Amino acid sequence: MGRAFVYVILGGGVAAGYAALEFTRRGVSHGELCIISEESVAPYERPALSKGFLLPEDRASLPSFHTCVGANEERLTPKWYKEHGIELVLGTRVKSADVRRKTLLTAAGETISYKILIVATGARALKLEEFGVSGSDAENVCYLRDLADANRLVDVMQSCPGGDAVVIGGGYIGMECAASLVINKINVTMVFPEEHCMARLFTPKIASYYEDYYQSKGVKFIKGTVLSSFNIDSSGKVTAVNLRDGSELPADMVVVGIGIRPNTSLFEGQLTLEKGGIKVNGKLQSSNSYVYAVGDVAAFPVKLFGETRRLEHVDSARKSARHAVDAIMEPEKTGEFDYLPFFYSRVFTMSWQFYGDAAGEVVHYGDFSGGRFGAYWVSKGHLIGSFLEGGTKEEYEAIAKATRLKPAIEDVGELERQGLSFALTV
């Protein structure tokens, strides 16, 4: 039993939605394209799950955040896919792939064959068990990667109004969930092993601004230690979190955000992997020329830095997906993917954007007490990274442009004095 398509997108997340839109713009025919997704809903803007979806009032819900609303584009509802003759195979896990035969086998036993495959399987949340701690399946321990997780998080949160939450991990998920929990009037303690939050990107000075703000909202930080075990009652609920430093925190719920791992397992031994992802060239094409990889699962050459990177951010998923479709549909006209890494986050009323690479010497600027500040990263005499909190659209565009230009910086002190005006005038 089986079906055959010209193009198959494996995975139905952010990248799949943007790829589908691009396919229709490039003129795909009815019945040629299929999207297979383990999730039971059409592609949606995943970042909404830790933001609007968790709000106590005017909660965002589907269909409002289907892709591609996050980039101010059309909202692709199930009806849209139908009208465009795109087959959505939802609630279906692919359990094996054979790139030599160009087939995928679903958990339900169907073989789906393709001429060209786009792998957009994203990533999964790392589990505590992978760090030697058990208890992930307790009733009130939450992860956050997909809609089912987000629905569960809301249920658990609503089951303990005014209760205590312990958030494990100080990265994106931890920070955004902590803010949402506070807005839902839950008491939050954050626990992470690093010296400050968002350790991979923030400098100590930037981190202390956000940590102070969170503390003003009642969030407690316990840094430099990790979870060692849970106290679990007879009903299967965590009642307390034990830390390696010996302390015990009472808990009505736990949210775990300790990183992700790209979903590459279907292709191990079949495609070349690098940096934990599927290695692709500047056309997002893997070591098998009929297989492309995009989004969180792809390790692609970032021209600007002259090296291969795997990025775990929504903008990269959207743009790599589009580029792959362009390369598939118009190979002669499509050049190498030339991507400027871009990350953002929104918490409480704050909002920041970052472009480029957080490496080298850091220069801070602006008003850290007034909530309008930023930083530049300078490496080998060139500006390579820019961060800004509380900017306007024009200011964010200016730091993006400045970072892409990689201007030479002769005097770091002068860059510090000029601050944001440097980007606005470069």
Q: Which residue is nearest to ligand FAD (CB)?
A: 13
Closer of 70 and 419 to ligand FAD (Cβ): 70
* Per-position DSSP letters for 3-55, written without gaps between them: EE-SEEEE--SHHHHHHHHHHHHTTPPTTSEEEE-SSSS--B-GGGGGTGGG-
The answer to whether residue 145 forms part of the interface with ligand FAD (CB under 6 A) is: yes
| Part of the chain binding ligand FAD (CB under 6 A), chosen from 10-18, 357-365, 378-386, 397-405 | 10-18
- C-alpha distance from residue 230 to each of 103, 165, 171, 223 (Å): 43, 13, 21, 18
Q: Cβ 408 to ligand FAD, closest distance in Å? A: 29
* Region from 116-124, 181-189, 234-242, 385-393 binding ligand FAD, contact rule CB under 6 A: 116-124
Q: Which residues does residue 86 pair with via DSSP β-bridges, in sequence order? A: none
**Residues in contact with 181: Cβ distance below 8 Å, sequence separation at least 6, in sequence order:** 54, 157, 165, 167, 188, 255
Near ligand FAD in 250-289, by CB under 6 A: 263, 266
* Sites for ligand FAD among residues 46-85 (CB under 6 A): 46-47, 49-50
Closest distance to ligand FAD from the beta carbon of 296 (Å): 4
Residue 211's CB: how many other CB atoms inside 10 A? 21
Angle of helix 204-216 relative to helix 172-183, nearest 10 degrees, comes to 20
Task: State the binding string over 162-191 for ligand FAD (x if CB under 6 A, else -).
Answer: ----------xx------------------
Cβ distance to ligand FAD smaller for residue 276 or 407: 276
Binding mask 335-364 for ligand FAD (x = CB under 6 A): --------xxx-------------------
Quick one: which of 21, 99, 116, 144 contacts ligand FAD (CB under 6 A)? 144
List C-alpha distances in Å: 81 to 2, 16, 43, 142, 163. Answer: 21, 12, 10, 32, 42
The candidate with the shortest Cα–Cα distance to 173, out of 150, 206, 203, is 150
Site residues for ligand FAD per CB under 6 A? 11-16, 36-39, 46-47, 49-50, 93-94, 120-123, 144-145, 172-173, 263, 266, 295-297, 312-315, 317, 343-345
